[in-house]
Amino acid sequence: MTALAWTDPAAYDIPEPGSDEEAAMLGAVEALFTNYTEENLSKHLTEVYAEAVYFRDAFKQFNHAEEIREYMLAGLEPLHGAEFIFNRVLRDGGDFYIDWTMRLDFRKTPPGTWEESIGMTRMRFNNEGKIIFHQDYWDPT
């Protein structure tokens, strides 16, 4: 079964648009990414991502939350710092689209030399409000 099939929002009881539950669910995602540190990722990633998950970015695909955590932590190694700015979140049925700006401060450059990239992530959530589908759309060049 494809990731789009098993994560079909029709199979899950997700919060109503504009509800406090929806705000809390999306707030947890934003809190994970806007405080993109080793400590925060280590502590909170599995609170935001379901154990069984489809994750795909420009480089890798994973199917388990622990694999995503290891990948994201390894991605911090060449950096002085990283941050995400959530520009807007759109919802279409049970699909959520997050328009973001990623800022990276690489160790190979003097501290404070931030590089920016813009992208979009499509997400779906399970009954517990955890991410089960994460597909990034961005150009890493």
Q: What is the pLDDT of residues 26-72, one digit of tens each?
A: 999 999 999 999 999 999 999 999 999 999 999 999 999 999 999 99
The structure's pTM equals 0.95
**Domain ranges across the chain:** 17-138
pLDDT at residue 140, rounded to an integer? 81
Tokens for 41, please give them. Answer: 């990722």
Q: Is the pLDDT of residue 141 over 80?
A: no
Q: What is the pLDDT of residues 97-112, one digit of tens each?
A: 999 999 999 999 999 9
DSSP-assigned letters across all residues of 74-123: HHHTTEEEEEEEEEEEEEETTEEEEEEEEEEEETTS-TT-EEEEEEEEEE
Architecture label for domain 17-138: Roll (3.10)
Please, which pLDDT band fits residue 89 given cuts at 50, 70 and 90?
very high
